[in-house]
Amino acid sequence: MSDSLPTIPVASAFADEVAQRVREVRDRIAAAHARGGHGQEVTLVAVTKTHGPEAVLAAHAAGVLDVGENRIQEAEQKRAALPDLPVRWHLIGHVQRNKAKSAVSFDLVHGLDSLRLAEALHDATQAASRTCDVLVQVNVSGEASKFGLPAAEVPAFAEQLRAFHSLRVRGVMTMAPFDAEEAMLRRVFAGARACAQDVRAAGHAADVLSMGMSGDFEIAIEEGATHVRLGTILFGAREG
Ligand SMILES: *Cc1c(COP(=O)(O)O)cnc(C)c1O
């Protein structure tokens, strides 16, 4: 179309690059699913933290419908800039209790790791007459630097969560240690899968297993991941 408006070169080059990376990642997701996998469907969550709204737009243009952010304030700015974009917003980072009111506006909160946070989220949902979908964050490896509940505490925690009617416990989220050996990654991811089973055993309709990042998503899928959270591999390295 010769008479169409000129496109903005920088923006479109970035969007093209993201679209290309999304295609490559989808191929790798499909291959991992074919090699292993547990019959699950895999959702690609594009982690746009530190990048601007244009990263969300580029991901959406490439067919990605799920976006992950780890800081509430940063996410709120992007959501305000893109009010009508039909994507699901995932809060993947640690949630402070004083941010519960904002947190419950996300489509899925991945970082539920304490009873006090469950109480705060529950109060916020009640105040807003809404429900909130949450994942129990599990620290399978026991790394001190990671947030999350020890795996052994998940059954009792899941049992306690039944009292919070407006929180819908959809499954489990975990982060593997950075740069771990494959055997360790498999142990962590299989451990998280067992925790999701514990959550189901407590009576929750929990079908989500959020695990796998840019460096380990294929192993995570082989171990049953339903949601992989990918930033660097789609958008390049983050600053800071
Ligand atoms: C940043 C982040 C990711 C994405 O990490 P990449 O290695 O850039 O893919 C995934 N999950 C959580 C919780 C994160 O904070």
Task: Say how many Å lie between the CA of residue 25 and the centre of ligand 1.
Answer: 15
On whether residue 5 sits in a domain, the answer given is no
Maximum CA pair distance of the chain? Answer: 65
Using DSSP, state whether 12 is helix, strand or coil: helix
pLDDT digits (tens, 9 = 90+) for 146-187: 799 999 999 999 999 999 999 999 999 999 998 899 999 999
- The predicted model gives 50-72 an average pLDDT of 97
3-class secondary structure per residue, 20-83: HHHHHHHHHHHHHHHHCCCCCCCEEEEECCCCCHHHHHHHHHCCCCEEEECCHHHHHHHHHHCC
Q: Is the pLDDT of residue 6 over 70?
A: no
The domain of 171 spans: 12-235
On whether residue 1 sits in a domain, the answer given is no
Q: Give the atom of ligand 1 at the shortest distance from the alpha carbon of 230.
A: 9
The pLDDT of residue 1 is 47
Label residue 15 exposed, middle or buried (CB < 10 Å: 0-12, 13-18, 19+).
Answer: buried
The pLDDT of residue 165 is 96
Looking at the 3D structure of the chain, how many domains does it have?
A: 1
Confidence band for 11, pLDDT divided at 50, 70 and 90:
low
Task: Identify the CATH number of the domain in which residue 16 sits.
Answer: 3.20.20.10
Verify whether ligand 1 is closer than 6 Å to residue 48 (CB atom).
Answer: no
Place of tokens 């946070």: 117
CB 210 within 8 A of CB 224: no
On whether residue 110 sits in a domain, the answer given is yes
- The predicted model gives 56-76 an average pLDDT of 97
On whether residue 3 sits in a domain, the answer given is no
On whether residue 7 sits in a domain, the answer given is no
Question: Residue 194: which of 152, 237, 238 has the closest Cα?
Answer: 152
> At how many degrees (to 10) do helices 53-61 and 72-81 cross?
60
Confidence band for 238, pLDDT divided at 50, 70 and 90:
confident
Verify whether ligand 1 is closer than 6 Å to residue 191 (CB atom).
Answer: no
On whether residue 240 sits in a domain, the answer given is no
On whether residue 167 sits in a domain, the answer given is yes
Q: Which two tokens stand for residue 78?
A: 């992007």
- Residue from 229, 233, 235 to probe ligand 1 pocket by mutation (most atoms less than 8 Å from CB): 229
pLDDT digits (tens, 9 = 90+) for 72-104: 999 999 999 999 999 999 999 999 999 999 999
Q: How far apart are CA 136 and CA 132, in angstroms?
A: 13
Q: How far apart are CA 14 and CA 11, in angstroms?
A: 5
On whether residue 2 sits in a domain, the answer given is no
